[in-house]
Chains A and B, each alone.
Chain A
Amino acid sequence: MANSTATAGPLRNRTAEAFLHNPALGPLGALVVAIVVFSVTTSTFLTVDNLSLVVQQSLVVATLALGQTLIVLTSGIDLANAAIMVLGTMLFARLVTEGSSPVLALVVGFVVCAALGGVSGGLVTWLNLPPFIVTLGMLTVVLAAGRLYSQGNSWPVTDPVLGLLGEGGYLFGQVRVTHGMTLAVVMFALVWYALTQTSWGKHVYALGNDPEAARLTGIHVGRTRFSVYLIAGVIYAFAAWQALGRIPNADPNAFQTGNLDSITAVVIGGTSLFGGRGSVLGTVVGALIVAVLRSGLTQAGIDSLYQDVATGVLVIAAVAFDQLARRRSR
């Protein structure tokens, strides 16, 4: 079948195949271009403290997007992730305010977030309900639960353990590195490892690709899918902790668009909403691109309405690029 390569054009084919192997390459290029453009057009973007800020600004959405990536890889979607996270922040904050120890509050918050992820996963896996519908329902329920539990107030956080991830030190005396940044690096590395270096990861990709094929090859499709939602729930709890590190205030009205923001990061990062294709690395890049655009455009003196336009255009471009690359490789 050597002739099939010849007809497609060897170089073109190879480039397209490179993108197939690593869908993060395109977004990575876009990120580099954005950084270069803002570095040239503004005098304030390309500074050590600004780059550190950009990373800090992207942390919460990036962490939400990490869980979202797992679910999208199984050809699911999670509309409830930010609501689960917000409930997590409420639990952390209110429990500590009412006198429980911060560690206990964290444990409770993590268990609740994981359980909520598990509920979504269970409904999707064993009742065979569409993820969109399940998580839409969860979104509404969890949002209301958060508002009820918050009693309509926002809960300020002063506890050092809950605010830990916003603390940090300086690398080389100049680059501000928060514990939240370190934690995010560790989490992304772990999930990257699990997805690419273990059987579980292969099974996640395979079931997102074609669940029936995965079942026929003997993969425990149900168990794997459920585990993905459960793990995503735990990741959302980490996002809640990150959020309190960033803004020490648990607000039931916060992150109303967090679910869509995380999907944006996932999609810009080159992960396919049809499942089975994508990478954690792409998601990191996707989240950074959004933060870089926001930061760079603000510093270029461009109002936020146009920033949204830029982000929207990028989402569409990312999906179009994904489709083109795949078509070319055929």
Chain B
Amino acid sequence: MSTPALQARGLVKRYGRVTALDGADFDLYAGEVLAVVGDNGAGKSSLIKALSGALVPDDGTILLDGAETRFHSPLDARRAGIETVHQTLALAPAMDIAANLFLGRELRRPGPLGGVLRLLDKPAMRRQAQEQLDALGIETVQHIGQIVETLSGGQRQAVAVARAAMFGSRMVIMDEPTAALGVKESRLVLDLIRRIRDRGLPVVLISHDMPQVFELADRIHIHRLGRRAAVVRPGDASMSQVVSLMTGALRIGEDGAPPDVSGAE
């Protein structure tokens, strides 16, 4: 078995008397789509925030390729190659596609123009943005200078995903990427996720949409009461079993180690 690209052990996060993470574990392997499912309030988003640096856990460890790491801010996680596509997309609607792809990571001209005058290299950003969209097969947008608010929901999602894929070298986290989309647009985004996985970049997919999870995921991480309740492969379990695991109607293993993990080797 290879070392997980990202591993978390015993993450704890408390807010006053509320425990959001209660010794949560997490494993993500290279080249897979890992779905994270769980009921509302199960601590999914706290888990994701801990992995993307948006919150600092009170206890527990995060390991990147086996080496222990601490994230103090989203920037730390990003520097480690972890990109997140937030449910809100985190796009600036009045700015164009190229500007959004490079938001916060703008390219400057080489030499004194960029160094002293801080001049942006807009042609380079446009070129690279276009290359990225082409590489991901995003052909629905007309041109790279289009203002984001003139795009459809699916197109915006595609821009956000393209940005994550562009800068994510270790993994991409996607929070409910199709929740706001229609059937046709969801299809486009799911294709995009597959293409990213096929390029070798692991994807963490948070979703409520069970059919979608079963269609796309290589493994399913089931979160319950602030910790990992089970990990299953879509082929090994039915949707109703997964839902039962989510709600606690079905439990696996008294020691908390789901039997499927060994089966997943």
Q: Do chains A and B touch in the complex (CB under 8 A)?
A: yes
Residues of A within 8 A of B (CB): 1-2, 4-5, 13, 17, 20-21, 197-200, 202-203, 205-206, 209-210, 212-219, 276-277, 326, 329-330
Contact A216 B147 (CB under 8 A): no
Contact (Cβ within 8 A) A206 B147? no
In the complex, which residues of chain A have a beta carbon less than 8 angstroms from the beta carbon of B142?
2, 5
Q: CB of B155 within 8 A of chain A?
A: yes
Please, how many angstroms separate the alpha-carbon atoms of A65 and B161 in the complex?
A: 38
Does B119 touch A at the CB level, under 8 Å?
yes
Beta-carbon contacts under 8 Å, B93-107 to A: 93-96, 99, 103-106
Do A218 and B147 have beta carbons less than 8 Å apart?
no
When chains A and B are docked, how far (Å) is the Cα of A170 from the Cα of B74? 56
Contact between A217 and B104, CB atoms less than 8 A apart: yes
Q: For residue B154, which residue of chain A has the nearest CB? A: A1
A200 to B108, alpha carbons, bound, how many Å?
12
Tell whether, in the assembled complex, residue A4 and residue B152 are in contact, meaning their CB atoms are under 8 Å apart. Answer: yes
**Is B237 in contact with chain A by the CB < 8 A criterion?**
no
Contact of A210 among B93, B105, B108, B155 (CB under 8 A): B93
A-B contact pairs, 25 of them (CB 8 A): A1-B154, A1-B155, A2-B140, A2-B142, A20-B149, A21-B96, A197-B119, A198-B119, A198-B120, A199-B120, A202-B95, A202-B120, A206-B95, A206-B103, A210-B90, A213-B90, A213-B91, A214-B104, A216-B84, A217-B90, A218-B74, A218-B104, A277-B94, A329-B147, A329-B149
Contact status B152-A1, CB under 8 Å: yes
**Beta-carbon contact of B150 and A219 below 8 Å:** no
Residues of B near A1 (CB, < 8 A) are: 140-141, 151-152, 154-155
Q: Are A210 and B92 in contact (CB under 8 A)?
A: yes
Which of A210, A218, A277 lies in contact with B75, CB distance below 8 A?
A218
The verdict on B89 contacting chain A, using a C-beta distance below 8 Å, is yes
Q: Which of A4, A5, A214, A217 has the most chain B CB atoms closer than 10 A to its own CB?
A: A217
Specify which chain B residues have a CB less than 8 angstroms from the CB of A329 in the assembled complex: 147, 149-150
Going nearest first, the 3 A-B pairs with the smallest beta carbon separation are: A216-B90, A218-B104, A209-B92
What's the nearest-Cβ distance from chain B to residue A97, in Å? Answer: 40
B147, closest chain A residue (CB)? A20
